[in-house]
Structure 1
Amino acid sequence: MADFSWSSSFTVGDPIPYPGDKIILPQRALESLIQAHANSPPPRTPSPQELANYDPTSWEPSPFDQRYPQKSRELPSPLTFQIRNPANRAVTHGGVREFSADDKTIHLPAWMMTSLNLAVSDQVMVKFQDLPKGTWAKFRPLTMDYTEIVDFRAAFEAFLRSHYNTLTAGEVLTIEQAKRPYQFIVEELKPANAVCITDTDLEVDIEPLDTDMKDSNDIKHMSEARIAKEMKDQVLKIGTESSGKVGVDNYQRWKIDVPIRTSGIQITVNVQEPGDLDVLVSTKSPVTLQDHIWGNFESVGPRIVTIAAADQDYATQQDSQSLHIGIFGRASSSSTGSSSTSQGEVNYSVLVQYHDGPSIPASSSGGTSSAQPNENAPSYHPCTNCGSWIPERTMMLHTNFCLRNNTKCDKCGQVMKKEEALNHFHCDHCDKHGDISEKNKHMEICHGWYQCPCGSFESAQLRDLALHRRTDCSERFIICRYCHTLVQQGALSSNARDRIRGLHAHESYCGDRTIHCQKCSQMVSLKDVQVHAKNHEYQRQNQATPKLCTNQNCVRARSTNVLGLCQLCFGPYWVPTEDPKHQKLVQRLARKYHSQLMTGCGNNWCRNQYCATSRGQEMDATSAATELMVILKEAKIGNTTETGKVWLCVDEATTRKKVLAQVLFEDLQGQYVIEWCVKALESERTDLEAAVQWLNQQAPRSKAK
């Protein structure tokens, strides 16, 4: 806790146009704070009685230092203040944004001025107060729209971290997400009614609204836009045709649940002629001309939108199971005024079905097949005017009729009646052709001029604008991968490494926050956590496997001797005399084997398969000599390229550890080699459960698995 006091009075200036509880003080306030901190009394000198039992040579900290810590030379961080209106004694708390206000002037957030019932030019008292760290907070929402927040804890953590230093019980807290405010009353706090929330793990509880309050708040606080949205969203069922009508230049929206994405879907909208509409589909609502993923902008025939099961946007949708369909009504340019279009409405029917065939491009949804009936059939020939295949016996009659009534377009080859040729058009900018009634809509959709509200994108095509809005637009709302809140992604990061990661402004900034690595105790930025974890995993998997004693009954560490035994096992075979060809070593090992096979070690815990005690049967000298010659070769004495095997009896503790290591190896189904199982048991003092945890955290997995 801070060991100094400071207070002063100020005149309230213009409110701060930022959210949060941080105030702006004058420069002189900082100077007086520093002076007050410097002039504060030093800690009390300990009495001899208090230090009578303290040993100055001990490594333990002094009990006096724990109760009376030394005063820091720097101001506490963050600085927190009690803010009081002397006229009505209303009190709140806040941090400080900066010291840049005019002398004797203070700038407060607008909500704080309202809470304290202050106006510009009023007097306010500000007192330094070192608040305790908050541990728990309960908030009560004021409206039912709080249920739209995706993750309460993430939303509170991100917003409070950026804008607030303190919380005061009874205040109204405004949380913003996706540019929309949500209001909560700070109901309860622990451990005090006013706490500091900087660098602390605050547990958040939300007290739900009562049913009666819900009904009244739904009517009183729900915005008109939200009411309109809920009234327009209608539910479709797959395989059931539904009818609707949409006003010209208006939307009618549908929602359909597609929980299983193993099959694609096909949306077919039939329009009652004359009439025109656009079909827009997206994974998010609301669907508009600027915000959609799939669409059909044709003016003739059924409007078909086919989404394949392999479509990335369709198959990888994670935020919900619903697809949203938007129907945008347009006035038909061929309307005579007698249809429903003249009344400002377009009638249509919509059908959604599962579809496992190939996708149908929107541009071909109203086209015709290029295959001709009777093509290349015997006694059939193509007409030179319309291209139809006609029987040879009637070719003259058909040709005379066709030349009088039909004409063929020189550009696209389409055959039409001569009176319809006057309404046939070709786009000067692309390959589009058709009836003149489609021209205006085509020019608007494909050759207009669209500018994104973010100000960084312009395009002549509506589809390009929609693609930009859902990918690169700085105003696009995303769930941040680091703070897990709904935010605008911002512009593409200027950092080259962040660009490679695909990070935009918000995630680039948010990912720079650091956390403490539990393995290496280093501070790692959030956006480097995965790479850092992979580095630990690489180091773990490439550890050198511990080398065990070549004695197959021993689990101690191997030593550098000719047999590859541990020091304890090799002890009886070491001699000070020179033995360059290892003859004496072979003799001593052979005698040991012969003794084991004939009489055994006499220990009832022995698990050595080449010991008479373990076998329960002694051997005669001749049989023992014959068998020892076989196992003596396995020692590979003098072989520098291969590791041999030795079979010697060991003590009870080593035998028990060997058995436990084998049990651990079998229980884990060979995920870790026996050497690491032994290492785990040594580290955890033969505790099997702790050894399993040690292996899962420290040991490399067997490559065979």
Structure 2
Amino acid sequence: MSFNWSATFTIGQPAETSKGDKIILPQAALESIIHAHASAPLLPLQPDPNYDPTSWAQPQFNPYEPIKPQELPSPLTFQIRNPANRLLTHGGVKEFSAADGQVHLPPWMMTSLALTPGDQVMVKYAALPKGTWAKFRPLSADYMEILDFRALLEARLRSNYTTLTRGEVLKVHQGTKEFGFVVEELKPEPGEAVCITDTDLEVDIEPLDTEMGDATTQSASGILDGQGSRRGGNNQHNVLKIGFESQGRVSPEAYQRWTVDIPNRKSGIEITVHVQEPGDLDMIVSTKLPISLQDHLWANFESVGPRVIIIPAGDRDYATQQDSQVIHIAVYGREPTTVAASGSSSSTAFSSAGEAIYSIQVHYQDNEEHSSEPPSGSSSLSAAADIPNKNAPGYQECTNCGSWIPERTMMLHSNFCHRNNAKCNKCGLVMKKEDLLNHFHCDHCDKHGDVSEKKKHMEIFHGWYQCSCESFESPSLPELAKHRRTTCSERFIICRYCHTLVQQGGPASNARDRMRGLHSHESYCGDRTIQCQKCSQMVSLKDVQVHAQNHEYQRQSQATPQLCSNQNCVRSKGATSNVLGLCQLCFGPYWVPTEDPKNQKLVQRLARKYHAQLMTGCGNKWCRSQYCATSRGRQMDATSAATEMMSILKEARVGAADGHKTWLCVDEGTTRKKVMAELLLEDVRGQYTIEWCVKALEAERTDLEAAAQWLQLQAPKVKKAAA
């Protein structure tokens, strides 16, 4: 049933919380919609002209059955039109909570219709067809950065949109970057607008022209220069090659970023930066973007000597990176300080251009050689080498510097050492007396060194940092970086359920999801349900794996079908058993109404049957029994047949509980089924038993390909014996 409803409203403030096409209408609009729907005339129904009230056949329309009133359509879809310029779009309704006479539209919709607060807009109910296919055209070539654009578009539409209108711009986000797509085509025809709720919408992308894509890429990323760096744009990404040294310059409080391709993750890497004095910089490394002082995996914050970061092959973050082979390196420039003789520090320029000049190199590292090196680049004092001449005869230890000096020169050395050298009482480090004035020890940790390093050390390791998520504070910059790559709600992850790059959110609200390692987004996203193809139950995405394991357990726990003990027969043994374990057709010739408690007469009849098969055969050209003269192509004499008959008669195990094995000739149809079962068993490479192959052929009516698929879905696999 269709109805008409339209009204004109004044634009209120934009609905900032609406991320899709849903509008907010007043309560009075809902009441008028219900009234319009209730008062709409019913469409005349055409009865079946062949309707016969005396017939058992069901008619298309029974004129004697009362017509039931239909419910309000769900979802409600509307056409939103700007009467001033006749621009229009479509959308759903979020809620009926606006003030009387007002409507709240999403900001993008107001921009698309050229509306501002206070303007008039017409809202009209529009019954839209269910969409089946949509083609989108990207607005720029950087859409190729999206990991899975179909999944991203489907997730965006599913969670925020009710309708799609041809020509409107759909904006989606991956991480912190926004991408625009124009709705190019829609189906079904005429394709001006469709409803996408409760429907399987197929999404397609129309690629950009090559010239347009190249122009967009150059304008966004800059042009590569001869050194492999990109000029233009704010974030420069220089390219490093394994084993080659490159030169760089970085300004204070600025980053210079490098990327290096590491295809061989079986070997660790060593990253080394040599800084020209008096420059100072930090080196940070990560497997993913963005990379900064607050977002990194490995770092070196030293102020003296080369900055070295060794990442062993066994490092979890390094070895398990799957989405890319690229390692990102950032060099952050700092203002250097030099120490005067009096101990006061003063700022010094980097170079004439105010930049720190450095060289950077990455090369593979032997795993065994550096297996004990720390993965972070923070320096650690190695074990001191053996002191020369320690406890050697004729040598004596200096009480000031700790060196072992020949006894005959100890007086000269001692006078010189006490006059020029001094020993730190805290760390025991021996240095010149003038250098002792510039020597410092941190009051919060074991760090010690030149006083010029104190300011930087206190800032990085003993400052105060608050994460932008406002739920974490730390005095240490490395601890903040660890928080941002692990538990931070703003950390970007690839959702395992919608396969899009999203913020993981806070911890899950229930303990079960927390034990699964889920955060709020995946906990919410995983609550969506799909229908199981085997049992037709609705299962949440989070429980799909466990549900599938239950089906797998049930499949593996099935009892093997019991076939006839006749090795040439493939029929089921059936519920009723006999002393030979034969099916009813194979046992028929051996059944007699007379009493035979010890099965002596049954054995005699079976022996006569075997003897006749070996001597003369069954005469059927299709026979494949290995104990039949027709199948063998030769007949045996009575004595030889009797000798061989006794050996196969024992395998019948007449009267035993199980283990029967008989060799009787069968009809042509049964022989053909046996051959097909053996062919299927060979095709599946023995993963299933012959009994299940027979059952699969029966279920699929001897279709080999369909039977093989049936085995994969229904039959338990053969369990491999433990070694």
1:386-423 deviations in Å (ceiling 9; x for gaps): 22233344334323322332222232221122222222
Q: Which amino acid aligns with 1:414?
A: L
Deviations 1:492-550 (A, max 9, x none): 11121111111111111111111121111111111222222222222222221111111
CA distance in structure 2 between the aligned counterparts of 1:354 and 1:636, rounded to whole angstroms: 70
CA 1:525–1:604: 2 relative to 1, 3 Å = same
CA distance 1:328–1:228, change in 2 (3 Å):
farther
Match of 2:357 in 1: 347
Query: TM-score w.r.t. structure 2 length?
Result: 0.90
Matched, 1:592 2:592: no
Q: Which amino acid aligns with 1:423?
A: N
Aligned to 2:143: 146
1:670 correspondence with 2:686: yes
Which structure 2 residues correspond to residues 175-574 of structure 1 after superposition, within 5 A? 175-191=172-188, 192-210=191-209, 213=212, 232-334=236-338, 339-340=349-350, 344-356=354-366, 357-358=369-370, 360-361=373-374, 362-364=377-379, 369-375=384-390, 377=392, 379-559=394-574, 560-574=577-591
* 2:226 corresponding residue in structure 1: none
Distance 1:69 1:161 in 2: 38
Cα–Cα, structure 1 residues 384 and 687, in superposed 2: closer, same or farther, change >3 Å? Answer: same
Q: How many angstroms does 1:689 deviate by? A: 1.7
Report SS of the residue matched to 2:36. Answer: helix
Once residues 45 and 236 of structure 1 are traced to their aligned partners in structure 2, the CA distance between those partners, rounded to angstroms, is: 75
| Distance in 2, Cα, partners of 1:121 & 1:354 | 65
Deviation at 1:616, TM superposition (A): 2.4
Give the structure 1 partner of residue 42 of structure 2: 42
Could you say which residue in structure 1 is the equivalent of 2:635?
Answer: 618
In structure 2, the CA distance between the partners of 1:613 and 1:147, relative to structure 1 (3 Å rule), is closer
Whole-angstrom distance in 2 between the partners of 1:627 and 1:186:
81
- The aligned amino acid for 2:296 is H
Amino acid at match of 1:47: P
Work out the percentage of aligned pairs sharing the same amino acid: 68
CA-CA distance at 1:229 after TM superposition: 5.4
Q: Are the counterparts in 2 of residues 408 and 415 from structure 1 also a CA contact under 8 Å?
A: yes
CA shift in 2, pair 1:704/1:231, >3 Å: closer
Decide whether aligned partners of structure 1 residues 624 and 222 sit closer, same or farther in structure 2, where only a CA change above 3 A counts: closer
Question: What is the one-letter code of the residue matched to 2:602?
Answer: L
Report SS of the residue matched to 1:96: strand
1:98–1:312 Cα change, 3 Å: same
**CA apart distance, 1:482:** 1.3
- Aligned residue identity for 1:689: E
Does 2:106 match 1:93?
A: no
Letter in 1 for 2:297: I
Cα distance, 1:355 vs structure 2:
0.8
Aligned-pair CA distance for 1:685: 1.6
8 Å CA contact 2:48–2:61 kept in 1: the answer is: no
Q: State the SS of the aligned residue for 1:334.
A: strand
Query: Could you give the per-residue CA deviations for residues 64-111 of structure 1, whole angstroms, max 9, x where no partner exists?
Result: 49xx99766322221111122333332221111011112222212222
Task: Give the Å deviation of 1:653.
Answer: 0.8
Closer, same or farther: CA 374–228 of 1 in aligned 2, 3 Å? farther
The count of residues paired between Structure 1 and Structure 2 equals 696
Q: RMSD across aligned C-alpha pairs, in angstroms?
A: 2.7
Distance in 2 of aligned mates of 1:415 and 1:650: 101
CA distance in 1, matches of 2:450, 2:120: 74
Cα–Cα, structure 1 residues 30 and 403, in superposed 2: closer, same or farther, change >3 Å? same
Verify the 8 A CA contact 1:279 1:296 in the aligned structure 2. yes
* Larger deviation, residues 411-420 vs 160-169: 411-420
Output one character per residue of 1:244-265: Cα deviation in whole Å (capped at 9) or x when no partner: 2211222111111112211111
Q: Distance in 2 between matches of 1:462 and 1:69?
A: 75
Shift of the 135–376 alpha-carbon distance from structure 1 to 2, 3 Å rule, reads farther
Do residues 19 (structure 1) and 19 (structure 2) align? yes
Q: In 2, Cα distance between the equivalents of 1:322 and 1:85?
A: 50
Determine if contact 2:529/2:538 at 8 Å carries over to the other structure: yes
Q: 1:653 aligns with which of 659, 669, 672?
A: 669
Structure 1, unaligned runs of 5 or more:
none
Q: Counterpart in 2 of 1:4? A: 3
Give the Cα separation in 2 of the matches to 1:263 and 1:79: 59
Distance change >3 Å, CA 244–CA 200, structure 1 → 2: same
Whether the aligned pair in 2 keeps the contact of 1:298 and 1:366 (CA below 8 Å) is: no
Whether the 8 Å contact between 2:163 and 2:194 is mirrored in structure 1 is: yes
Shift of the 213–667 alpha-carbon distance from structure 1 to 2, 3 Å rule, reads closer
Counterparts of 1:182 and 1:227 in 2: how far apart (Å)?
Answer: 23
SS in 1 for 2:434: coil
**Amino acid corresponding to residue 123 of structure 1 in structure 2:** Q
Aligned to 1:608: 625
Note closer, same or farther for the CA distance 1:231–1:478 as it changes in structure 2 (3 Å cut): closer
Secondary structure at the counterpart of residue 419 of structure 1: helix
AA aligned opposite 2:88: V
- Which segments of 5 or more consecutive residues in structure 2 lack a partner in the other structure? 223-229, 340-345
Counterpart-to-counterpart distance in 2, 1:701 and 1:147? 43
TM-superposition CA deviations, 1:674-694 (whole Å, max 9, x none): 111111111122222222222
Structure 1 residue 29 corresponds to structure 2 residue 29:
yes
Corresponding letter in the other structure for 1:6: W
| Equivalent pair of 1:490/1:504 in contact (CA under 8 Å) | yes
Distance between the aligned counterparts of 2:274 and 2:524, measured in 1?
Answer: 48
8 Å Cα contact 2:335/2:349 also seen in 1: no
Please tell me the residue identity of whatever aligns with 2:362: V
Do 2:564 and 2:572's aligned partners in 1 also have CA atoms closer than 8 Å? Answer: yes
User: For residues 582 and 267 of structure 1, do their structure 2 counterparts lie closer, same or farther at Cα, with a shift above 3 Å needed?
Assistant: same
| Matches of 1:305 and 1:676, distance apart in 2 | 59
User: What CA deviation, in whole Å up to 9, does each residue of 1:441-498 have, x standing for no partner?
Assistant: 2222212211101011111211110011011110111111111111111011112111
Distance 1:71-1:131 versus aligned 2 partners, 3 A rule = farther
Matched AA of 1:330: R
Indicate conservation of the 8 Å contact 1:331/1:341, yes or no. Answer: no
**SS of structure 1 residue aligned to 2:331:** strand
Question: What letter matches 2:442 in structure 1?
Answer: C
Change (3 A) 1:131 1:383: same
